[in-house]
Amino acid sequence: MPDLLIERDEHYAVITLNRPDARNALSPPLLVDLCAVFRELQHDSTVRAVILTGAGTAFCAGLDLKAMGDSEDGLGVYHIHGEHDIVAAMEDFDRPIIVGVNGVAATGGFELALMGDILIASSAARFADTHARVGLAPGWGLSQKLARIIGPSRAREAHFTGNFITAEQAQDWGLVSRTVDPEALLPECRRVAMDIAGCVPDTVRVYKQMVNDGLEMDLGAGLIMERNVMGPVNTRVSGAAIAQRRSGVQSRGKEQSS
């Protein structure tokens, strides 16, 4: 059985980390394959969104500590750079990444989840940063992202103690969009993926880039950036196209309200 499963729907792909006996820990080969899959999907225009989840009862336990312990190179066994750089591979993917957090997301697995755009959690999900417990420093953005999402005090407590953040806390703190029952997690992720697929693909790509760029700026700079992007993008859309799409939006609204 492969350590990484890929399922393709008409408009989206589902990537499943498939090392359930190891809590989906990222072995060096699995990390290489995960990078390769995101780079492959980047060149597939039929894929409007990607769902990333885990098999079994864990999302991802982070880097495989056994693989590091068995190597004289320690962390160097991963060669995390170039084409093996998962941060770059996921950042370069220009469509939405939906992360279905089905269970424990710990340390590097926590960081992997935060590389996504939309996080939806099972009620069985738990998040933990155990870097300080094992004597490692984060390198995939956790020390910078988490405080910006849930606030400095909560983030510091998570970093300095290694204690778990429950699914309920994650929802209350805005870490995830929502929590659902375990059996509803993948169907909910698929529903969101199909909603994304129903929007204009080029606009979704531009929107993702605008949001991500804006998060690295103050509000004033972000508003200027938005205006600069808006002009060239909106002038490429005809009035007839807007009218046609607007009728589709109105029809969808009626369906959802009925």
Question: Domain spans of the chain?
Answer: 4-197, 217-257
pLDDT tens for 204-242 read 999 999 999 999 999 999 999 998 998 777 676 655 555
Interatomic CA distance for residues 85 and 91, integer angstroms: 10
Q: Which pTM value belongs to this model? A: 0.89
Looking at CATH, the fold of the domain delimited by 4-197 is given as 2-enoyl-CoA Hydratase; Chain A, domain 1 (3.90.226)
Report the C-alpha gap between 258 and 256 in whole angstroms: 6
**Rounded CA gap, 119 and 47, in Å?**
19
Q: Which tens digit of pLDDT belongs to each residue from 111-163?
A: 999 999 999 999 999 999 999 998 888 889 999 999 999 999 999 999 999 99
